[in-house]
Structure 1
């Protein structure tokens, strides 16, 4: 047994629904959008994370759907449905289909599977099903379908944990840098800052490189920026952060473009000013606070060096008239 205490509900006369929802939400899952059509051919769909395979022979899957759902009523009529496994790029789509809105499919591109059920081509995968059985279970129905067709793509899946979505790419990035020193840079281009993301639907962050990248200076950060079409002159350290949820030390520098940018991936590498920055879609709290501090200090013409101390950290003002200092300079002084 571990030494961490758990908050339980033992001894309660009844199970609190809100607490029950929170506890079962501790089981991290993927996200699916279940789609179907009614007898009139109108499209219906809902977001569901209660999905699993049931049998290989025959190929059966199940989803759990609230009994009052209009989509369930439509599914009963047509006896067909598709399970679209949501990708990171489908976060907003998953939020839309989790509502009771009547216009969920407005502006959404779909294709038709063999059964006629709508499918989303940019999903991680989809399964086209014919209804096999419906089993009542409390206030939900367990819908069992026989898979008649399926396909998979290369996108990364969207995850769901304790009431919120998360991107698998963010978790992969964190695991790759755990325990390392990570080099990063704020690239300034006329008051706009360069941000990048892992793909559509991913979180925006400063460009970075792990410290063990083949022995290159700054982990190959300059080389990565050049390959991205943003050759950068890195000037001076801006912050030293202990990123606890990634278990790494982040050394963040200031930098400016050394040539006109020619971004190779304009969808996932962009320059933002303070007004256009996607604040809610930044990687984490540290990124948001650091970028806000940078824009503020830039407007004042005075920069500081932040150092994490374990108790919030400190900022030391610095004079921005940097001079070069090389190994040869040091040897001359010592000699």
Structure 2
């Protein structure tokens, strides 16, 4: 304990002690204070017990012991206060050292950034303008050759949109159901007519009922099988604004003319090249990008593989003269039966 106390006293007197050294010293000093209080209580009890014993020398010795224990308590208390002060000073000193280090690092980083900006801005801005010129000249050439393509050749796609646009995402099929729907003659898909308005004339055949028109003159339909899908449409194609309409490069120093000011997004490649060649730039408002619209599931019908348009059946001769909209087979069960048998 004496060795530990001596070390603690020496640490409390060091002005350069670190917080890592001082942090564990406080519990040790507090343990010393607790031990000193226990020793002082024991010495006080022994002293009082000797007062009636008649041994003067022993009483004086115990009195000295209890006074020594009190001094030990005072020393431990002072030690704890000194260590707390040293710890606060060390933390403040270390925090200041950290601030100084961060300050110096930031100053060096700022000096490097200033040097890089001064050395590279003009050349990088010029390179961007040259890049826009390369793209614009290529677009000019594409417009020229696409206007008079060789036989069988496909149009050459735009340089910038081919590289920068994001294609549309694939559709996601949520569910599939087999359905049977009526299809008009000459079509492969149901169309928009009311499926419930079909009058069945035979197995898989029927006509679309039209008020006032004989069934034999109505549009023929055929019952076809389809795969009905609930489809969540994929993301739409994302088209970028061209660089010449989004880039703005001010002059490096105050008062210097702009190296490049944004042009209209619909500016022609020839206009871009002309502006670059003349080195006289004008600023136009930048277009505002439209917010993407949310996608919702849509109904999608897929015909059977190899489906052909519905073919018309030959018309059957009438079995009786037309008697108006209220005298046809639809109101005469006997006539309807004859039509089905035919």
Which fold has the larger relative contact order, with Cα–Cα distance below 8 Å and residues 6 or more apart in sequence? 2
Per the normalisation by structure 2, the TM-score is: 0.17
- Which has the larger Rg? 2
